[in-house]
Structure 1
Amino acid sequence: MSIFPNSSNSTTEHHSSREETLVRTVNVWEVGSVHSNGRLQVEVIKGVLEPSNLCSHKITDIMYERLEPTGFTWKKVSAGTKQFYFEEFKKWFVWRQEDNLVYRAWFKSASRRYSTICCEARTLWENNSKPKNKIGNDVWLSWVEYWKTPEFQKKSAIQKNNRRSGADKAHPTHTSGSASSRVHTARLKKKYNRDPTSFEVYEHIHTRKNDKKTYIDEKSQKVYENYVNLCELLTQESQPIDPNKVFYQAVGGHNQKNIVYGLGSSQNLFYAPGSSSNAASIHFSSKHNTQEDYQKLQAELQVEVANYAGSNRTTGTGSL
């Protein structure tokens, strides 16, 4: 059953467990509800189109309607086709905000979704599997020829090595599954009956079976240790502990790609892009050498981050 109602229905209600979104036709504006014109009401919230899962799934479906033989990457897709994608998107969704704001958020999401389509298709080819029926034969053959080129093969090998951090096999970077980190954040908010902290979200999606104990790799374990150590240092200083500020410091803040490690698509719910104003640095007095200890922790973390370069997930690689 489609999650998008027919516009001829005056009152409609669908429930999708996968999306965890109740879609209703109502007279008041509510994100995720159905407008009187039959389109789903969406809104850009902290740079992301919401409800994000419904938007991203529909964006993907639309893209499969028109794939180009030379559309090897999002940058290679023609301006006309990108415009087609957005115009089709407008047939399913409605918003109150300025078109430019929505378009920027849509473009960012579309870029990630298109990259996922190409990645999944290439994986099928590498595994000698047949392409999805949604991909036309002319498109498939053209993409395969591109993937065979020495230039692409070299670039692909470098990127795979970066994602694996030099290991022979890629390791999971989160335990959130197909649900975005924003979905998990919403679940935690419902569970705790309050807004979760950034650390609680991180802990939830980086421990096995969400047990808050067994971290999935050394990197995530290191961040946890940094967080705990910083909290201990603050306690020694008799300073208040702001979990969001402490976590921000524990992961080293925004990296060069403007990403706060470990939060995926929920990052902007806690930290403004490229700004540490809402996560000010933690300051210690000189007693107990806590400032020196903190600087050592930060230095160690920066080494970890450097070693982990290339493994950052695009919100959408699953996006967390």
Structure 2
Amino acid sequence: MSGGGTSSSRVSASSSGSAADDGGRVELTFGEGDFMYPYHAVPTTITNSFKTNMDHDGWTWRAVPDATKQDYWAKFKKVYWWKDDLTDEAVYARWYARATVRYKDMIHKMKKGRPERPPWMRQNVWEKWLEYWNKDEVKAKAAKAQKNRMSEPDGPGTGISIHRGGSRNALQQHAVVLREQGVPAEEVDWSIFNVLHAKAGEFTYPRARDAYAQVTAKTAELAQSQLNDGSESQEVDMNRLLLDAVGGVSAKKRVFGIGSRSHAYTSTSRSNQGASFSSQPQLDAVLADKMKEYEAQMQAKMEAREAQIREEAQAREAQMRADVQAQLQAQKAEFMKLLAEMRNLPPP
């Protein structure tokens, strides 16, 4: 695998903390789970690479030929660089995980938009994909998958598994409640749970309602106990209470109610999961600061690019004016020469 990282000697203005190398690539760093920073730019870059080379047989990520996937990976490396403490193999693993999800999401949107062809997709590829999607066995498989998504995990009549987080997943909600709302680290995942599954006393389905009731009851019990003992009020680890209420980390390494934030708790044993809920304030603060840093860098880069575009436009306009002026002067000179010649002609 060719090296996508770079040494400090290849990074322009590295001493000043610039995130771009001398080739204009943006520095890439790791975040929580399989996420990479700059957070919003990475998935967009991945999706855009798909659109430049859609394979005839690429109706699923698994069906995409290895050569095409390597082309996507090569395009990704042209946009980002990473420091030597991140290996190409580690970045590739995270890129592959994110690419799998992004490709699936893109295909889902394309299927919903049928029969209209996306403007960036070649007609012959689109026609082959439509032919594949219209096969009876493919339709049957899609219907089965849709039925599974509509299943009711808590039993008939309890409702399907949903959340109210909108377009933000749990990791994005985590950044919002930590950075923008200033929620303490020991309450972050409890806040995410409420955003995703509770609103004005209504819940997505019974398991969420029961977990909420158990946590609030335990909180009241602890507060009453402190009051009876006459002890000073202590911070309650709401994340720990939530973990207990939902049954800890499942066999599939998931924590109910916090979605992709489950990654934060799968690196320790189940018996020690509660500690991980409250042992991450430093990591959370670093991630929040990193997001602020990258957003500032991206904003500065956009502003610099806009200024460059304006300067280039002004230079082009000035050059065009100069060219027009030169053409007018040349035409005027030619006209005056012709006029002089006509004056010197003998009478007929």
Q: Shared topology, TM-score over 0.5?
A: yes
Q: Equivalents in 1 of 2:267, 2:60: separation in Å?
A: 26
Partner of 1:197: 188
- Which whole-Å CA distance do the structure 1 matches of 2:197 and 2:178 have between them? 17
Q: Structure 2: any 5+ residue segments left out of the alignment?
A: 1-10, 227-233, 276-348
Query: How much is the aligned-residue C-alpha RMSD, in angstroms?
Result: 3.3
Q: Deviations over 1:77-132 (max 9, x none)?
A: 1111111111100111111211111111111000000001111111122xxx4021
Shift of 1:240: 8.4
Residue by residue over 1:34-60, the C-alpha shift from the partner in whole angstroms, topping out at 9 and shown as x without a partner, is: 445422222122332123321111101
Structure 2 counterpart of 1:247: 242
- Aligned to 1:163, which of 140, 143, 149? 149
* Residue of structure 2 in register with 1:272 after alignment: 266
Match of 2:209 among 217, 221, 243: 221
Q: What corresponds to 1:290 in structure 2?
A: none
% identical equivalent positions: 24
Task: Say yes or no: does 1:174 pair with 2:163.
Answer: yes
Report if the CA contact (8 A) 1:234-1:240 is conserved: no
2:131 paired residue among 137, 145, 148: 145
How far is 1:217 from its partner?
Answer: 3.7
Give the distance between the partners of 1:274 and 1:120, measured in 2 at CA.
Answer: 36
Deviations 1:111-164 (A, max 9, x none): 000001111111122xxx402112222222222222222222222112111111
How many residue pairs align between the two structures?
249
2:172 equivalent in structure 1: 183
With the length of structure 1 as denominator, give the TM-score of the two structures: 0.67
Q: Hey, which of these two has a bigger chunk of helix by percent?
A: 2
TM-score scaled by structure 2? 0.62
- Aligned residue runs from structure 1 range 91-106, under 5 A: 91-96=78-83, 97-106=86-95
Structure 1 position 115 matched with structure 2 position 104: yes
Distance in 2 of aligned mates of 1:267 and 1:51? 21
CA change 1:230–1:79 in 2 (3 A) is farther
Report the Cα offset of residue 233 of structure 1: 6.4
Match of 2:46 among 56, 59, 67: 59
The gaps in structure 1 that reach 5 residues or longer are: 1-9, 12-24, 282-320
Q: Is 1:261 paired with 2:256?
A: yes
Q: Distance in 1 between matches of 2:135 and 2:225?
A: 59
Q: Distance in 1 between matches of 2:219 and 2:183?
A: 24
Partner of 1:314: none
Cα distance in 2 for partners of 1:158, 1:274 equals 35
Is the contact between residue 199 and residue 243 of structure 1 (CA under 8 Å) also seen in structure 2?
Answer: yes
Q: Highest Rg: 1 or 2?
A: 2
Matches within 5 A, 1:34-113: 34-47=20-33, 48-96=35-83, 97-113=86-102
Contact 1:244/1:279, CA 8 A, preserved across alignment: no
Cα distance in 1 for residues equivalent to 2:79 and 2:139 = 38
**CA 1:37 to 1:264, structure 2 compared with 1: closer, same or farther past 3 Å?**
farther
